[in-house]
Chains A and B, each alone.
Chain A
């Protein structure tokens, strides 16, 4: 299995721990990630609402690079996923739009043909690798660990490019493959607050707080996410809430790749553990250091 890997901006710049974990686990499943040369911004929703055609052209340029490589594109970030998947779906079905975009792309010597698919890491693990293989790779299962899953909104929304709740369940199934237990909680499908950062920080903090309360009430010990924005928001806002409301939730936030990597018997480096603001130590001490 070979894929063109679209890392995006946030993961290499602010969450290299996520990138490292993905690079370490994927070869174990026979997945080869090929670097994409010369990609640009995925064009997330900020750009989508500023200039429609620029969004289409920016995303389509990335898709062209994948086409030139002849490989399906895999993303880690939910925003990259939404933008690339949406534009790919739109251009594949709307020939008029495709021609307009290709006119813009011609200026940089590219042409969108619509030959590849866009996948999320969860798609790859669930559909292409399969839950059974993931389960087989687990050496040190997180037996009994109560996990609140946070798939992030763009793994399943908008509905017109996804199909039902399947991916919510797929993500939970993958988390359970590591031996952990997934907890259903009230605000599972709600926003993490992240997209409001920089626009209305107070509201973002309140939204995150409501989600954290709901997770704590359901009895979860940690949060596992696939989206780098959800990671940042839920991890960092716990510090802010502590300062502002004097409330402590102590819910460590992990990337799914990190959880799986530890379950596969690999240890996180010191710097990786330290890139989590809510300390992982209590969790790691109880669950991993015994073996």
Chain B
């Protein structure tokens, strides 16, 4: 009997690693991704901590390796609709959403993008930049093919006329395919807590109050500003920048009591990045306590203080107010070291918002029949001895969908490998 395949749901760094590991062992992998390209959250990042390596430079080779592997079949812009069966013998229904472009013909030349008359906000840039109705989410996208966003498309047909490869197919229909797999790996990742749920911080009310992921896009050379850090409100270079930690995490009032586990690290990294962009900038980090565990990280924090002159203020600020005359923001806080109520003025405020489960993960959880914890993260069958096993045999998980006990990129990668190894046991150990 033919060796069964593995289904991997979610093509972020964790899912990519799991797929590549399995494929390298000679196991067939179906890698299903909801969005038009693989890459996930890591593709949105500028640099990684604490080594300040370019995120895309590490990710892109992995994306290419994985997608070019003969044992990996990519199913992008697709979603899992139904799962039946038992370990070693699952039947999975996958819906391939119509992208109105034939990926086997599209060369990604971009002539259609140049001619498309519709501009909408770009979700890959967290809504800060614009894209066309026919688009590729980012330049290094895999597969290198366009997608038409039919919600915003006006069906003018210009892209179809301009395409020399004849790849545009406005008549494409939704397709449903059935897969036979032996094991399933879930790697759906995380979403960002919406800070507008904390009204005193004014997110959504003031343009210059942004989330850390938005900052990441502003700092990134492939971002909406070409890597120039400017304020969203007036396009000026901010001279004073504040980070507020634990926005929506470690906060019983607004939902999430857990520590999101990565915010201290990326905030320090982003603060250093800002100083590298503009050494005259003044950067403050408001923190409850600084969780600098992990290799090389405490050293990194120390360097941020001494070498880069980043100011750390132990406080959980109460509110951010706006002054229309100076277009500036004031943070009101209690310095818990000096025990004084103070306020400081800033040009830009970055909120380190909590990481929460994917908003639509509930649908997938129902399809798979697996359990979640009270916050909506996937439950391990035993968080100590079987951390990557879900509550259903034959279904494994890796990456941040398992919750904040793992956080950073190396953790997600090693979990991807761990889940691949557990899935391989089912495949090889089965018939």
Interface, chain A (partner B; CB < 8 A): 159, 165, 184, 186-190, 210, 214, 217
Contacts and interface: CB of A to CB of B under 8 A. Distances in A.
Contact of B319 (A159, A165, A184, A186): A186
Interface string B318-330: 0111111000000
B199 interface: yes
A165 B253 CA distance: 11
A210 B320 CA distance: 12
A189 B321 contact: no
A25 to B, nearest CB: 29
A190 B319 contact: yes
Given A186-B200, A186-B205, 9 more contacts: A159-B253, A184-B199, A184-B205, A186-B319, A186-B320, A210-B321, A214-B321, A217-B321, A217-B324
Contacts of A188: 199
Interface of B: 199-200, 202, 205, 253, 319-324
19 contacts: A165-B199, A184-B199, A184-B205, A186-B200, A186-B202, A186-B205, A186-B320, A186-B321, A186-B322, A187-B200, A187-B321, A188-B199, A189-B199, A190-B319, A210-B321, A214-B321, A217-B322, A217-B323, A217-B324
Contacts of B323: 217
A214 B202 CA distance: 12
5 smallest A-B Cβ distances: which pairs? Answer: A186-B321, A217-B324, A184-B205, A214-B321, A186-B202
Nearest to B197: A165
Contacts of A165: 199
A225 to B, nearest CB: 17
Contacts of A190: 200, 319
Main secondary structure of the interface of B (DSSP, over half): mixed
Contacts of A217: 321-324
A134 B323 CA distance: 36
B17 to A, nearest CB: 40
Contacts of B253: 159
B205 A187 contact: no
Nearest to B324: A217
Contacts of B321: 186-187, 210, 214, 217
A161 to B, nearest CB: 15
A187 B322 CA distance: 10
A189 B324 contact: no
Contacts of A210: 321
A189 B200 CA distance: 7
Contacts of A189: 199-200
A184 B200 CA distance: 10
Contacts of B200: 186-187, 189-190
A262 B195 CA distance: 37
A237 B323 CA distance: 21
A189 B253 CA distance: 14
Contacts of A187: 200, 319, 321
Nearest to B329: A186
Contacts of A186: 200, 202, 205, 319-322
A186 B199 CA distance: 8
A200 to B, nearest CB: 14
A189 B321 CA distance: 12
A119 to B, nearest CB: 25
A217 B199 CA distance: 16
A238 B176 CA distance: 67
A257 B323 CA distance: 32
A159 B253 CA distance: 9
A189 B197 CA distance: 12
A214 B320 CA distance: 11
A186 B203 CA distance: 10
A171 to B, nearest CB: 14
A162 to B, nearest CB: 12
A186, A189, A210 pick with most chain B CB within 10 angstroms: A186
Nearest to B321: A186
Contacts of A159: 253
B416 to A, nearest CB: 38
Contacts of B322: 186, 217
A165 B202 CA distance: 15
A189 B318 CA distance: 11
B199, B253, B322 pick with most chain A CB within 10 angstroms: B199
Contacts of B320: 186
Nearest to A190: B319
A207 to B, nearest CB: 11
A279 to B, nearest CB: 25
A214 B323 CA distance: 8
Nearest to A165: B199
A152 to B, nearest CB: 15
A51 to B, nearest CB: 29
A93 to B, nearest CB: 20
A159 B252 CA distance: 11
A256 B253 CA distance: 28
A97 B202 CA distance: 41
B340 to A, nearest CB: 14
A101 B333 CA distance: 41
A217 to B, nearest CB: 5
A210 B200 CA distance: 13
Nearest to A210: B321
Contacts of A184: 199, 205
B149 to A, nearest CB: 31
Contacts of B202: 186
A188 B202 CA distance: 10
A187 B330 CA distance: 12
B156 to A, nearest CB: 38
Nearest to B205: A184
A159 B321 CA distance: 24
B329 to A, nearest CB: 9
A159 B323 CA distance: 30
Nearest to A217: B324
